[in-house]
Structures are given as structure tokens and as C-alpha cells.
A and B are shown apart, each in its own frame.
Chain A
Amino acid sequence: MRRVICLLALTAIILGPAVGVQAQTQTLNGAGASFPFPLYSQWAHKYHALTGVKVNYQSIGSGGGIAQIKAKTVDFGASDEPLKTEDLDQAGLVQFPMVVGGVVPVVNLPGIAAGQIKFTGELLAQVFMGKITKWNDPAIKNLNPGLNLPDQNITVVHRADGSGTTWLFTHYLSLSSPEWRDKVGVGKAAKWPAPNSVGGKGNEGVASYVKKVAAAIGYVEYAYALQSQMSFAVLKNKAGKFVTPSIESFQAATANADWQKAPGYYIVLNDQPGDQSWPITGATYILVHKQQADAAKAKGVMKFFDWCYKHGAEMAQKLDYVPLPAKVVELVQATWAKEIKADGKPVWP
């Protein structure tokens, strides 16, 4: 009996403070896309240290994020692929972009360093379709006269899991090649036509397959290409210029887009005008309900994202994400004020 009392007392000592803290501080729950997870978790960590508000972000994938926010089991959802306006209206959701990232083609060819090999969207589509099977194909050689391209079969590496990265990439290939659009199309997962292809799980899976398989080509988020020091390709953009992927070229694509005219911020930053614009760029999105049940909690969510926009830019850039331009943030916050309500009253500001 004494032991039981001891145990109870101990439990009370351990749990007591935890329960006390829980009562005072707010906990915000979010779930969704895995691409921005490193950034969101860093933001959440810093924000917790500054304000005491706890933000839990579960990186379960965009599909899961959309399902969870629709089921209202989380306070915000996150998706790499923007929802269409009719889907948003049907579910009563508001969508806004958080950060921007770029997708870059990466190759594994001995002696070819990052930024040396050039591609056009059309050529990239042909390679991923399996129409061009050798690295020394005249089409690749003509574009890259100075490079020593080997007589090797090209292995295409794609994502095995569904992902926003694939969505963005296939969208770009569809823009560049009508044949790709008709035969493969756009999706978070696709039927990869190249006979010589493998699928990796996640950006890290693709990166490691490209590094392991000789003469491979794949596509990864820019951050992964940098972190794993891969040879990324240079792409021809809409203005006809060859651009190197960088924070600046993603920013150029973001700035040149017309956000004002995009309902639900449904905008794909692929193939944007401008000399500097990187052609495979996309935003990752946050989803919240228009009608909020708990005003305090809704305000907490908005405050967190406000802090991220205003103070999170540096952290974002350190992790190779591109913060949104200030004028886009203004637009987003105007949307918050207009659309997000609790008990009929706007939650923000």
C-alpha cells in the first residue's frame, strides 16, 4: 500500500508541472507536406522559445495534410500542391503560400560538375520519356558542345512516393512538351514511361539513387541538391536564357508571377517570365478553415504564421527555401482579414 502511495505521489510530481503548463500555453497542431517540414519544425522550435506557444507539425505528406484539415483533426494543414478554388470552397478552406522552393534536375556523370550541363524543357521531357536513351545523343550533344558526354545508357530516377516535387516537375514537363502532356500528364505520382527507370522514396531516396547509379538523371528539391553536392543542370527559361538554380532565380520567378489575379493563390510558378526566373519553381501552401470554432486558437495560428512571414525569412534562406516577397505577404494577410472568421467576426488582425 505504501508503495502505491509512493507511486501516486511520484506520478503527481512528474505530471503536475506538465499539467500546469498545458493549462497556460497554447498548442497548435498542423500536419501535411514533408518538403517544408525542416523549416516548419525550426520555426516552431524558435517560436516556442520566444512565445511559449507550442506548434506541432507532423510531416505526413500533402495528401494526409489535406485529409486531416478537412476532418478538422488539426488546426492547419499543409500541401505542396495547391487546391483548386472549387475544392477549397467545398471544404470551406482558405489557402495561402508560405515559402517557395525550386526543383532541379541532377545528373551523375563523371567529370561534369554542377551547373555545367544544359537542358531545355523539351529535351528533359524526351529524356524522361525514354525517347533519348544515351548521353551522347546528338540532341544533348548539340546543346552541350563543350562537354565530354559518355556513350552510356541514361537511367531515369523518379520519386516512388507521391509528392509535390513530382507534381511540379511533371507540370513543367507538360508545359514544355505536348507529347509529355498527352502521354504522361501531371500528377503527384505518374506512370514513368522511360524503360530504364528507378524510383526513390523521398528527395533523399532520389538523391542517393542518382549518386549510386552511374549515368543517372533525376530531379530533387534544390536544398537536397545542394546538401548532397550533386551536379545540377542549367535550364532554359521562358525568356530563352539559361539560368542556374539559386535562391535569386527562384525569387525572380516568385516576383514575376501575378499573385493578385490568382484566386486561392492557385499559381504554379513554373515557366514564369523574366530573364532570371528558374523555370521549375513552386510554393508550398497552408490550409485553414474559414469558419473557426475557437477564436483564440485561430488567432494563435494566424499569429504564428505572421511571425514566420516577418521573422522567419532568414531561417528559411539558411535552409535554402525562398521567403515570399513582402507584397505577396500583404495580399495573404488581407485574405486572412477578409475570409477567416470565428463567430462571424474576423480573426485577423
Chain B
Amino acid sequence: MADLALPETPTKAQTWRQGDVIFRWLSRGCAFLVPALIGGIFLALLIYSLPAIKKFGVGFLVSPEWNPVTQEFGAASSIFGTVVSTLIAMLLAVPLSLAIAFFLVELAPPAVSRVVSTLIELLAAIPSIIFGMWGLFVFAPFLQAHVQPWLASTLGFLPLFQGPPMGIGIMSAGIILAFMILPFICAIARDVFLLVPRTIRESAFGMGATTWEVMYKVMIPYGLVGLIGAVFLGLGRALGETMAITFVIGNSHRISASLFAAGNSIASTLANEFAEATEPMYVSSLIALGLVLFLITYLVQILAQFLLRRLYRSWSVGL
């Protein structure tokens, strides 16, 4: 009987095994697709930016010149705008989102917490162009009329707040970016805080710690790895953000100490200038800018991984 039954089961097993093989190759192919794409993009960027790299060399990275008439290009002004606007965004968004997340987890009544959490997630779903238009039509005029004149009169002795208030510029770009990355950092930070065991939180309170001490000395150290991850996610998004920035940054190739001044980010330069760039050196320089952005984002990711690994080792508690 067993002999008779055998020929049937192997065929079934064989088809299964065949399915397994196909599936293995399929999933392997899918997994290799990602590195192939990244490698391909990197190669394409490199090849097309070669003329610019050959002509300008390392000077491309430090030259503030961007002159389409004489075909002299340098990335410094765009890198500067990208870094400064991202820096402003991170400085504003990180403390704000940690405070919000802590409030939602620890202080808010459950009903409020639910509503606010949903709203924050909705904020993440707003397309960036909407942020840009809102920034241009509502937020920048508000900055120009109320915030910047006040900053200029109180902190005007700092070079950061000098020059005529225009509303649009590096400052509004940074603040709009902060609004855009806030929901991402906040949502993860909330989840991280929720993972801190109730007992730990409550024993801290039981030992007489203030709310601030619980957040600063218990919750943040406990969830540090997760929080760093959240911050880097926000950072990655801020670096590459295009449309919203293009609307409000002022699109001017200039390095200025004042946050009121107009600037340019790498992404906004590409968005603005690519369509009408005809000269080969112009196109090549724009692609080289893209390569710079690619490398910056990549470096940030590597840095994030490195930091996370080190933290993971030194903090045996937590996530």
C-alpha cells in the first residue's frame, strides 16, 4: 500500500519544490532589484556629471559661482541652502515633536491623545506642494508682516536677522520643512515612548521624579535608539524635499548670513533649472548637483546606521 501511495505524494512534493525554487528566485530577483536600481542611478548620475566634474573638479563643491551665462558652475550656494534649511527644520522639529509625543503618551487624556495623533498622521499625508502653496500665500506674508520685523527689532544686532524682511527666504523654507517632517518624527517618537514599560515610568514617578525628569532621564534614554532613527528619517526627508522649498526659499544662488535672505537648495535648483537648461555643461552641472545630493543623503544614512549600532551596543536597555 505504501509503495502504491508513494508515487502520488512525491509528484505533489515535487511541484511544491518547484514552486519553492521559482519563489526563491523571484524573491531573490526582487531583493536584487533595489541595489541594482541604486547602483544604476548612481552610475547614471556619475556618467552624466563627468563633464562638469572634469571641468570644475573639487572646486565644484566649494565655488559659490553659478553663472549660466559664462557657464561657470559651483555647488556651494545650493549645498549651503540645503544644509541651513535642513538645520533650521531639525532644530525646530525635533524638540517640538518630542514634546508632542511625550504629551500624547504621558499627559493627554486618551480621547485628546487619539484625536491629536490622528491629526498628526493627517499632517503627514498632506502633499508637499500644498505645504509650498500655503507657505507662499499664507505663511510667508505672515512672517513678513509680524515675525521678521519683530526679530529684526529685537535680535537685529545678529547678522542672522538683518536685511529687509521678505517673508520668503531661507527662514520660511526651514520652518515649512519643520512642519513637514514633524509628523514623521512625532509618530515614531510616540510609538517609541509607548514601548517604554509602564512599570519603569511609574516607578520613576513613584520615586518623586518630576514630569520633566521622567521625560529627560527615563523616556528619552530608554527609547534613544528609536528616537535617533526617527530623527534621521526626518533628516532624510528634509534634505531631499523639493516642491515646498522651491515655493518659499526664494531661488537665488547666494550665500548670505541672514536668514531673511533668499537662497537655494539643491533640489529646488534642479526643479527650477533643469527644463530649460540647453548647454551641455549646464545640464552636466545640474546632474552633478544631483550626485552631490545623492551622496549627502547616502552619507547621512550611513551615519545613522553607524550611530544606531554604537548606541545599541552601549545601551543594553531599550529597543
Given contacts A155-B166, A199-B262, contact A160 B251 (CB under 8 A): yes
A3 and B90 alpha carbons, distance in the complex (Å) = 54
A192 and B251 alpha carbons, distance in the complex (Å) = 11
User: Once the chains bind, are B272 and A160 in contact (CB under 8 Å)?
Assistant: yes
- Which B residues are CB-close (under 8 A) to A66? 278
* CB<8 Å pairs between A and B, sample of 23: A63-B277, A63-B278, A66-B278, A153-B164, A160-B251, A161-B272, A161-B276, A187-B68, A188-B276, A189-B273, A189-B277, A190-B67, A191-B65, A191-B67, A191-B68, A191-B69, A191-B253, A196-B163, A197-B254, A198-B166, A199-B262, A201-B246, A213-B168
Q: Which of A8-24 contact B (CB under 8 A)?
A: none
A52 in contact (CB, < 8 A): no
A218 in contact (CB, < 8 A): no
A200 and B163 alpha carbons, distance in the complex (Å) = 19
- Which A residues are CB-close (under 8 A) to B168? 198, 209, 212-213
Q: Which of B260-319 contact A (CB under 8 A)?
A: 262, 264, 268, 271-273, 275-278
User: Once the chains bind, are A198 and B252 in contact (CB under 8 Å)?
Assistant: yes
- Which A residues are CB-close (under 8 A) to B273? 160-162, 189
Question: Chain A residue with minimal CB distance to B168?
Answer: A198
A191 and B250 alpha carbons, distance in the complex (Å) = 14
- Which A residues are CB-close (under 8 A) to B277? 63, 162, 189
- Produce 1/0 per residue, A145-177, CB < 8 A to B: 000000011010000111100000010000000
A67 in contact (CB, < 8 A): yes
A53 and B234 alpha carbons, distance in the complex (Å) = 50
Sample of 4 more A-B contacts, CB < 8 Å, known A192-B252, A199-B262: A162-B68, A212-B144, A212-B167, A213-B144
- Residue from the set B66, B166, B253 with the largest chain A CB neighbour count within 10 Å: B166
A280 and B181 alpha carbons, distance in the complex (Å) = 44
How many positions in chain B have a CB within 8 Å of any CB in the partner chain?
Answer: 33
Q: Which of B216-260 contact A (CB under 8 A)?
A: 246, 250-254, 256
User: Once the chains bind, are B272 and A201 in contact (CB under 8 Å)?
Assistant: yes
B140 in contact (CB, < 8 A): yes
- Which B residues are CB-close (under 8 A) to A160? 246, 251-252, 268, 272-273
User: Once the chains bind, are A63 and B250 in contact (CB under 8 Å)?
Assistant: no
B15 in contact (CB, < 8 A): no
User: Once the chains bind, are B164 and A155 in contact (CB under 8 Å)?
Assistant: yes
A185 and B252 alpha carbons, distance in the complex (Å) = 17
Q: Determine how close the nearest CB of chain A comes to the CB of B146; give it in whole angstroms.
A: 14
B136 in contact (CB, < 8 A): yes
- Which B residues are CB-close (under 8 A) to A186? 69
User: Once the chains bind, are B276 and A61 in contact (CB under 8 Å)?
Assistant: yes
Using a CB–CB cutoff of 8 Å, the interface residues on chain A facing chain B are 60-64, 66-67, 152-153, 155, 160-163, 170, 184-192, 195-201, 208-209, 212-215
A266 and B68 alpha carbons, distance in the complex (Å) = 22
- Residue from the set A170, A192, A199 with the largest chain B CB neighbour count within 10 Å: A199
User: Once the chains bind, are B275 and A197 in contact (CB under 8 Å)?
Assistant: no
User: Once the chains bind, are B276 and A162 in contact (CB under 8 Å)?
Assistant: yes
B51 in contact (CB, < 8 A): no
User: Once the chains bind, are B250 and A198 in contact (CB under 8 Å)?
Assistant: yes
A236 and B140 alpha carbons, distance in the complex (Å) = 35
Question: Chain B residue with minimal CB distance to A170?
Answer: B69
Given contacts A196-B164, A198-B168, contact A60 B252 (CB under 8 A): no
Q: How many interface contacts (CB-CB < 8 Å) are there between A and B? A: 99
A153 and B261 alpha carbons, distance in the complex (Å) = 13
Given contacts A184-B69, A189-B68, contact A62 B276 (CB under 8 A): yes
Q: Determine how close the nearest CB of chain B comes to the CB of A62; give it in whole angstroms.
A: 6
A190 and B71 alpha carbons, distance in the complex (Å) = 10
User: Once the chains bind, are B278 and A67 in contact (CB under 8 Å)?
Assistant: yes
B11 in contact (CB, < 8 A): no
User: Once the chains bind, are B275 and A190 in contact (CB under 8 Å)?
Assistant: no
User: Once the chains bind, are A212 and B262 in contact (CB under 8 Å)?
Assistant: no
User: Once the chains bind, are B276 and A197 in contact (CB under 8 Å)?
Assistant: no
Which listed residue, B66, B167, B254, B264, touches A195 by the CB 8 Å rule? Answer: B254
A200 and B194 alpha carbons, distance in the complex (Å) = 45
- Which A residues are CB-close (under 8 A) to B253? 191
User: Once the chains bind, are A199 and B278 in contact (CB under 8 Å)?
Assistant: no
- Residue from the set B140, B250, B276, B277 with the largest chain A CB neighbour count within 10 Å: B276
- Which A residues are CB-close (under 8 A) to B250? 198-199
Given contacts A155-B164, A209-B168, contact A190 B251 (CB under 8 A): no
Which listed residue, A64, A191, A195, touches B275 by the CB 8 Å rule? Answer: A64
Q: Determine how close the nearest CB of chain A comes to the CB of B53; give it in whole angstroms.
A: 21
User: Once the chains bind, are B276 and A199 in contact (CB under 8 Å)?
Assistant: no
Question: Chain A residue with minimal CB distance to B169?
Answer: A198
Which listed residue, A163, A184, A200, A208, touches B251 by the CB 8 Å rule? Answer: A200
Q: Determine how close the nearest CB of chain B comes to the CB of A183; give it in whole angstroms.
A: 10
A106 and B69 alpha carbons, distance in the complex (Å) = 24
User: Once the chains bind, are A161 and B252 in contact (CB under 8 Å)?
Assistant: no
- Which B residues are CB-close (under 8 A) to A196? 163-164
- Which A residues are CB-close (under 8 A) to B144? 212-214
A170 and B69 alpha carbons, distance in the complex (Å) = 10
- Which A residues are CB-close (under 8 A) to B140? 212
Question: Chain B residue with minimal CB distance to A83?
Answer: B278
Q: Determine how close the nearest CB of chain B comes to the CB of A217; give it in whole angstroms.
A: 13
Q: Determine how close the nearest CB of chain A comes to the CB of B233; give it in whole angstroms.
A: 28
- Which A residues are CB-close (under 8 A) to B66? 191
A190 and B256 alpha carbons, distance in the complex (Å) = 19
- Residue from the set A160, A163, A192 with the largest chain B CB neighbour count within 10 Å: A160
A62 and B136 alpha carbons, distance in the complex (Å) = 27
Question: Chain B residue with minimal CB distance to A185?
Answer: B69
